[in-house]
Structure 1
Amino acid sequence: MNQRLIKALQFDVAQSIFTDARVVFDGRKNLFSAVELDLGGNSREFDVSLPSQTQQTQNDRPPRIYKIRLTHVATINTETLHRFIDGLQSQDNTVNTTLMALNVVIRMEPSQRFPVKGRSFFTPDDTRNLGGGLVLWRGYFQSIRPALNRMLINVDISTGVMYQSGPLISLCLSFLGMDPRNPSVLSQQLPDRQRVALGRFITGIRVQTKNAGSGVERTQVVRKLSPQAADKVTFTMRGGETLTVAAYFRKVNNKPLMFPSLLCVEVGQGALIPLELCTVIPGQLVRKEVPDDKKTALVEFATMRPKDRFASIQKGLDVLAYGQSEYVRKFGITVDRTPLQTQARVLAAPALKYGAGSTALTVNPRNGSWNMAGTKFYKPASIAAWVLIIFESMGRFNDQAVNDVATSFVKGCRATGMTVTHPDPIVRRINGQAQIAEQLLAAGAACAKEKKVPPSLFVVVLPEGGNDIYTMVKHWGDIKKGVATQCLKSRKCRGAKEQFWANVALKVNVKLGGINVITDSTQVAVLSDPHNNPTVVMGADVMHPGAGTTNRPSFAAVVSSVDSNAAKYVATMKVQASRQELISDLQEMTHYLLSKFMDYRKLVEGRKEPTNAPKRLIFYRDGVSEGQFQQVLDQELPLIRAACDQLKIKPKITLVVVGKRHHVRLFPSNDRDADRSGNCPAGTVVDRDIGHPTEFDFYLQSHGGLLGTSRPAHYSVLYDENSLTADTMQALSFALCHVYAGSTRSVSIPAPVYYADTVCARAKIHFDPEKQGYSETHSGTADSADLENYKRDYQSLHQLHTTRMYFS
């Protein structure tokens, strides 16, 4: 709406002012012009009406007038930007404002023609029906970015989720998963639960309707779904006559409704419109979170092989058409469409060390993966006795399948060096609708009675769609009982091969206190330097509530290595204000983790004081945007320091932000340099041409490609008391991507960051699933009282798990 008003202002209302000065608008309050506007002073007000409204006026009603006031507030000196990209000054507010203005310039043209979300816009050229009233549109992301001695436009493809356009009735039926040929189900007989869900889904959608009688089309916003049908709900007209909605439309339109028994929608100031008279306008972005059952199809649509993605990006340049944009030309911007070519290096993968009994103690990864065949864990754990719980039905998972799971699991664990004292488990079939905690407890008691030792592990086979059961099992095991639990999906473990059980053993071993693999520290300078060790490595992340959610807090997680090889980690998590990115309890969390590090060095590794105190602290921070870097330095770094002061230790701190949410993609210019998936090989690092003009940053693609185009991680070293070189920082980060306990592949970000992300994602297991405290009890807005409720209901990790990698 705002964009339409500004367009009308420029092209219809005040042409003389804007002929030589096409202005660009950010959609909210900021207007940028390449030349000074002749406003006849510092400020001027304009009356604007939309052309479409002028044509629709009837009954001598004048068109609606909107008042727009333009006020000159600042002049941007672009010389500051030149100095910045030449590396002669730091990134300040003037530079940020200039970059913002340039981004508004390049998005102005597409924003007037296509649906826009942030810096992405979407076209109807390539779409896929997602079902449930949703449609996927292919789109293009664009962003102007500074680099050393140049400005770049970062272009990538993106995916938008739209409401299904066309008759509103069709969208409603699609959402409910009902027969599109049978609209009659949308009557008053629709069950309340479905009606409420449908009402939530369509609220806020813009629909085209026709004025009763005149037939003039109008755009209206759906406020809510009426609980009554058009032939049942009545209203009183100005003359005193009482009519049903169906009767009213039959009277003024001189023809009856096709489906008078269907519900209505409320629009505008409370007007009721029958569903059949509403048409959903195309290109409306869904602002809510996509349902879980649609996410797989969404990922499939968004996934493209490197060559296809590159071709699609080049096609996007034709749609963007920078050279044809009047706005881009007026601001004196020229764009070279040639993709930027840069030099990259491929880092050598660290050698990985396994335990005694392995056919080869050292394994060398190739393109981000390695084979565990013939190897034993570096530090294998023991399973004294264990319980096997089956939630799947007998028909889907018979006794033979249960026996196969029991024998294959033990075989997989023993093959990796783990000890299983009692190979035969206590087996229990449990009804997922029954009291799960009580039945798990009873199974554990039966194990202790029969095996004479309490179970150290519960292996749980889940049915399809067993997410709620999973939450209950994890809450019981991690929060209430302090016993390790390993959940398996029934369809995955039925008839599974050896490789599957080896992967299960990877997770079980670390949950029981073992260590799977370490990097050869002689190849990782930070971990092998005798003068500056020990080194503690931490990872932190914050998880925010999903889009459209207003009543949930954010969760902050920090994990820390405790061993000398930075392979074993412990974690802590806190509840904090909704959508707050900075970690408010970081001092307390860091203090707790550093204490765990020193305790482990002393009690497990047998180090004496003062050698158990860390000399270096490498802190990887995830999820922070570039605009928040200074806040991290000003607010989080002092909290890390304060925690060290409390413990009377003085490690030298290096603070690194790891970014995943960006659109930089690396494509090998020569097919010979690509891996089998067409991506750059694992270990590809780029630290020139696309880096920041003044900061120490680099892009590292640490994982081998599987499906689609790999995304490199962006590392920005914000603070470094350790004076680490680029080579050292890159080698350490790459090495840490190889010690993620759950796989025999290097991962896309360092293991501590990955773990912090996982701990955040498991936030709901800290709330009693019986009370539904995490999902239902708290409603309304996320105010301070609501936050206190969440903090009160949050239950801490069981003491026995505080030294284990329960989150693996």
Structure 2
Amino acid sequence: MEQKPAPKGRGALLEMLKKHKEARAGGAGEPVEEQAPPKTRGRAMLLQKIQEAKERKAGGDSGQLSTPGPSTVPSETRRGVSGVTKALGEVAITASETCSYRGESGTPIKATANYILLNVEKDRGVFEYEVRFQPDIDAKSNRIKLVNQALGELSTTKVYDGDVCLYLPCLAFSPRQEFESVIPNTETPVTTTLIYKRKRKLSECLHLYNVLFKRIMHILLYQRMGRNYFSPDHKYLVPQHKLEVLPGFCVHVDEMEGGLMVCLDTQHRVIRSQTVYELFHEIRATNPRNFREEVTKNVIGACVLTKYNNRTYIIDDIAWNMNPKDTFEDRSKGPSCFIDYYREHYNIRIEDVDQPLLITRQVKQSPDGKIERMICLIPELCYLTGLTDAMRNDFKVMKDVAAFTRITPNQRMLALRTYLDRVRQSEKAKQVLSGWGLSLADDTVDVKARVLPQEAIYFGGPDAEAHKYTGGTDWNKAISDNKLTGPVNITNWQLYYTRRDQKYAANFAQTIVRLGKGMGCVIQDPRHIVLDDDRTETYMTAIRDNVANTQVAVFICPTLRADRYSIIKKMCCVNIPVASQVILSKTLSNPQKVRTIIHKIAMQITCKLGGTLWSVKIPVSGWMVCGIDVYHGANNQSVCGFVASINGSMTKYFSKAMFQDGEIGDYFKMPFRQMLQAAKDREGAFPSKVIVFRDGVGDGQLEHCRKYEITQLQEVIKELNIETTITFVVVQKRINTRIFRTVNETNFENPPSGTVVDNMVTRRQFYDFFLVPQSVRQGTVNPTHYVVLVDEGNIKPDHLQRLAYKLCHLYYNWSGTIRVPAPCLYAHKLAAIVGQYIKKTPSTQLDDKLFYL
């Protein structure tokens, strides 16, 4: 006899209600065990919610939550309600469906990631209880004491917010338990009632698990600085630069495709041995006339570390009218001066009693809302963190710091295994985990990785196959030996320079003319315009008088000045639209490297004039790729860069910059419509598929991105009444995931370029994958995370992964692969130059050129 299929949807709900009625009619005894029905949808879900609401209303007081107490409900009703509650509880703990986005192409390799499986014991997890007191108690401390009395031994592993929610690691009381006691420090009797609600899903308990690992890091003597944890006892000294490097970890728990996992990544924090007070003296010695201005510029916004409590603060202001002799309200003893406070609490003697104080503002959440409070810090106790711009530009400093921070895959794996050993050897750390039925796996999780086929780079010439490069991810030499795919003749251009740079200018002009033949184009001699001085006004006048009807204007500047660069770009991008190139004379001063540098400048100018340098094979037609990124400037003013390909080989782009507030874009409809029209004008038809790569969106903004940005693009498609589909992919670079190729149990190395991981460590609820597009010889490679938010075009995972990898080869400012698809980096460059320097919307005459490279 053929078995009937299990009912679904409304049928499943009706079946459950039928059993519910049978349970009510069944008299005394245990409620009928029901199997949890499949998840209801649509009208069935609405009916289920209405039914649950009726039962709650019939079962207890309207002012109380959920399960009714036994003293107020007849026994028949209690049995039915408890049966339904149990069934719904089983539904609540059912794991959500795993989203898998796996491809098949490529060569499999053995790999592992910096994730450690977190095992949960059977019948353990996180069980939610409701706490009630009769009579009600206002004091939070008394509530906690009473709950601890009721729990007994379990009080050490509970998580209780002091209000109504209590979380336990096991099903201690079901469905309801009452405890008689007295309110602490009084003789007033009180009844504490614990009501079982449900077993929570793993995805709902991630914050709790993260709290447990905060406790473990504290037990292992790691200090929290910012979001990560560091060990001050194991710091590395860089005395020649007055720096200290603190090793540490970034730890977070998440539910991945392979289960509940801990992501553990090594981190480093650079601390300067210099205090803010010492910086004051240094500035006073070098620039006494502008002392306060220089101090404000260097200190405000800086992150400082106070070693007496190992906390970091962001400096918001400097109180020049205050000093350590001033008093403040101490919670323990009333008015107290800063000198006495630090001596009594930290045994620290403040040397300079006349130094100004540093101000940091912190916002605390309270029942009455957000409360802002000011914290005063002593400059001589505040150590500066991070590197200054001067340090970052100093090769020796960066090289010495990189000796400690740029670590290999073997060193990272050793650090992870050392951490696991420390957790196993610590009884307190093991108790924190075992109390909640948790245990860490013995080693990092293995993943199935694939290496995509290496891409061939095609250059210009009559025979494309004869002019291709297949030697890896760096074709710097190959591009100097081959012609460009889309060269542009430069016959009318201008060269601006001051008299002292005349020698560099003459050499630049001669060299670039000679290089033109090898690039496949004609470059004629420029028109030389010699400037009397390097003042900003001189450049403005020269541009206004000469730039009109010119292909490109090249400026050789004697020094790097932001205001001069800004006015040149603003004049050439807004007022008189023309391609422009700014070069520092120092760049042209090295005779051994000058030819290579000028060749790169010539290629950059070619791109700014609408030319192309190289290409990869794109086996599809009618596709458009877009890149979106946002630059955040001062005063909450942001610039969104929107770039889209307008040809089949995805080498020519249409670019738009829009000013907006915040990260999420609001003005996509107009530029997107223009891009679709530009593609139609060039190719003869609207694109069949649009693939958008959106950079700069964190996990917390994904839903906003889906609601606001994707909706705007879909509305344009609808208004144009075309059949174009949209695939929207978020590109995340700032991630803590690391992927290692496994050579053997003790030897690990960076995975090769083109490595894809789309299993185990991918998100459970997203279509996503990791891609390693670069080949790294030093340190550990950073993979890029791709999250597919919308896929109307039903693009196969293999095709999207291959496309993302191909686009990482098409950034014309670098003859190698980059971390993100080229449209994303083009959008980033566009938004940055407009937000930092141009500060106005560029002319529409430059829309189809990469003028921002």
Superposed pair shares fold, TM > 0.5: yes
Output the CA distance in 2 between the equivalents of 1:15 and 1:762.
Answer: 63
The corresponding residue for 2:689 is 616
Q: Return closer, same or farther for 1:191/1:534 CA change in 2, 3 Å cut-off.
A: same
Contact conserved, 1:368 with 1:745, CA < 8 A, in 2? yes
Q: Specify the code of the residue in structure 2 equivalent to 1:737.
A: C
Q: Which moved more, 1:719-728 or 1:303-312?
A: 303-312
The corresponding residue for 2:230 is 122
The corresponding residue for 2:104 is none
- Aligned positions of 1:134-283 closer than 5 A: 136-160=245-269, 162=271, 171-176=275-280, 178=282, 191-197=291-297, 200=300, 225-227=318-320, 262-263=355-356, 279-280=381-382
Q: Which moved more, 1:119-128 or 1:569-578?
A: 119-128
The corresponding residue for 2:624 is 536
Contact conserved, 2:646 with 2:679, CA < 8 A, in 1? yes
The corresponding residue for 1:785 is none
1:335 equivalent in alignment to 2:419: no
Which of 661, 665, 670 is the aligned partner of 2:734? 661
Output the CA distance in 2 between the equivalents of 1:163 and 1:25.
Answer: 39
The corresponding residue for 2:45 is none
SS at match of 2:769: strand
- Aligned positions of 1:670-689 closer than 5 A: 670=743, 679-689=750-760
Output the CA distance in 2 between the equivalents of 1:415 and 1:801.
Answer: 27
**Which has a greater percent of strand?**
2
Contact conserved, 1:759 with 1:807, CA < 8 A, in 2? yes
- Aligned positions of 1:318-357 closer than 5 A: 318=421, 324=427, 325=429, 326-356=431-461
Output the CA distance in 2 between the equivalents of 1:194 and 1:109.
Answer: 42
Q: Specify the code of the residue in structure 2 equivalent to 1:151.
A: L
Distance apart, 1:653 and its partner CA: 1.9
Q: Return closer, same or farther for 1:150/1:195 CA change in 2, 3 Å cut-off.
A: closer
Structure with more contact order per residue of length (Cα contacts < 8 Å, sep ≥ 6): 2
SS at match of 1:342: strand
1:747 equivalent in alignment to 2:818: yes
Q: Specify the code of the residue in structure 1 equivalent to 2:820.
A: I
Distance apart, 1:19 and its partner CA: 5.2
Output the CA distance in 1 between the equivalents of 2:350 and 2:785.
Answer: 58
Contact conserved, 1:133 with 1:171, CA < 8 A, in 2? no
Contact conserved, 1:187 with 1:262, CA < 8 A, in 2? no
Q: Specify the code of the residue in structure 2 equivalent to 1:617.
A: V
Q: Return closer, same or farther for 1:744/1:693 CA change in 2, 3 Å cut-off.
A: same
SS at match of 1:717: strand
The corresponding residue for 2:504 is 401
Contact conserved, 2:696 with 2:731, CA < 8 A, in 1? yes
Q: Return closer, same or farther for 1:258/1:745 CA change in 2, 3 Å cut-off.
A: closer
Contact conserved, 1:142 with 1:155, CA < 8 A, in 2? yes
The corresponding residue for 1:375 is 482
SS at match of 1:718: strand
Figure out how many residues of one structure are paired with residues of the other and give that number. 666
Q: Return closer, same or farther for 1:639/1:404 CA change in 2, 3 Å cut-off.
A: same
The corresponding residue for 2:30 is none
The corresponding residue for 2:613 is 516
Distance apart, 1:685 and its partner CA: 1.4
SS at match of 1:438: helix
Q: Return closer, same or farther for 1:261/1:146 CA change in 2, 3 Å cut-off.
A: closer
Contact conserved, 1:188 with 1:263, CA < 8 A, in 2? no
TM-score, normalised to structure 1's length?
A: 0.70
Output the CA distance in 1 between the equivalents of 2:246 and 2:520.
Answer: 50
Q: Specify the code of the residue in structure 1 equivalent to 2:680.
A: M
Which of 597, 601, 605 is the aligned partner of 1:504? 601
Distance apart, 1:806 and its partner CA: 1.1
SS at match of 2:741: coil
Output the CA distance in 1 between the equivalents of 2:481 and 2:437.
Answer: 64
SS at match of 1:576: strand
Distance apart, 1:118 and its partner CA: 6.3
Q: Return closer, same or farther for 1:436/1:270 CA change in 2, 3 Å cut-off.
A: same
Q: Return closer, same or farther for 1:576/1:377 CA change in 2, 3 Å cut-off.
A: same
Q: Return closer, same or farther for 1:377/1:443 CA change in 2, 3 Å cut-off.
A: farther
- Aligned positions of 1:309-458 closer than 5 A: 309-318=412-421, 324=427, 325=429, 326-356=431-461, 361-370=466-475, 371-390=478-497, 394=500, 398-421=501-524, 423-429=525-531, 431-441=533-543, 444=546, 454-458=549-553
Output the CA distance in 2 between the equivalents of 1:753 and 1:271.
Answer: 40
Q: Specify the code of the residue in structure 2 equivalent to 1:428.
A: V
Q: Which runs of 5+ in 1 are unaligned?
A: 1-5, 49-69, 82-94, 165-169, 210-218, 236-243, 250-255, 449-453, 528-532, 602-606, 769-794
Output the CA distance in 1 between the equivalents of 2:141 and 2:423.
Answer: 19
Output the CA distance in 1 between the equivalents of 2:218 and 2:750.
Answer: 32
Q: Specify the code of the residue in structure 1 equivalent to 2:614.
A: V
SS at match of 1:441: helix
SS at match of 1:662: coil
Q: Specify the code of the residue in structure 2 equivalent to 1:584.
A: D
The corresponding residue for 1:577 is 661
- Aligned positions of 1:692-771 closer than 5 A: 692-693=763-764, 695-765=766-836, 767=838
SS at match of 1:482: coil
Alignment deviations for residues 366-390 of structure 1 (CA, whole Å, 9 cap, x no partner) = 3312221332111111212222334
Output the CA distance in 1 between the equivalents of 2:608 and 2:183.
Answer: 67
Distance apart, 1:509 and its partner CA: 1.1
Output the CA distance in 2 between the equivalents of 1:344 and 1:231.
Answer: 59
Q: Specify the code of the residue in structure 1 equivalent to 2:609.
A: L
Distance apart, 1:482 and its partner CA: 1.2
The corresponding residue for 1:773 is none
- Structure ID, larger Rg: 2
Output the CA distance in 1 between the equivalents of 2:281 and 2:374.
Answer: 28
Q: Return closer, same or farther for 1:305/1:438 CA change in 2, 3 Å cut-off.
A: same
Output the CA distance in 2 between the equivalents of 1:498 and 1:355.
Answer: 21
Output the CA distance in 2 between the equivalents of 1:377 and 1:562.
Answer: 19
- Aligned positions of 1:18-167 closer than 5 A: 20-22=154-156, 33-34=168-169, 77-78=199-200, 80-81=201-202, 95=203, 97-111=204-218, 113-116=221-224, 119-124=227-232, 125-127=234-236, 136-160=245-269, 162=271
- The share of aligned pairs that are identical, in percent, is 19
TM-score, normalised to structure 2's length?
A: 0.67
Distance apart, 1:562 and its partner CA: 0.6
The corresponding residue for 2:14 is none
Distance apart, 1:327 and its partner CA: 2.2
Which of 711, 716, 719 is the aligned partner of 1:638? 711
Alignment deviations for residues 175-221 of structure 1 (CA, whole Å, 9 cap, x no partner) = 34719xxxx96999883313544663689875869xxxxxxxxx999
SS at match of 2:199: coil
The corresponding residue for 1:774 is none
The corresponding residue for 1:777 is none
Q: Specify the code of the residue in structure 1 equivalent to 2:556.
A: V
The corresponding residue for 1:802 is 847
Distance apart, 1:315 and its partner CA: 3.7
The corresponding residue for 2:67 is none
Q: Specify the code of the residue in structure 1 equivalent to 2:782.
A: R
Contact conserved, 2:300 with 2:316, CA < 8 A, in 1? no
Q: Which runs of 5+ in 2 are unaligned?
A: 1-139, 186-191, 329-336, 343-348, 362-371
Output the CA distance in 1 between the equivalents of 2:208 and 2:244.
Answer: 32
Contact conserved, 2:417 with 2:443, CA < 8 A, in 1? no
CA RMSD of the aligned region, Å?
5.0
Output the CA distance in 2 between the equivalents of 1:207 and 1:303.
Answer: 25
Q: Specify the code of the residue in structure 2 equivalent to 1:191.
A: F
Q: Which moved more, 1:31-40 or 1:342-351?
A: 31-40
Distance apart, 1:223 and its partner CA: 8.6
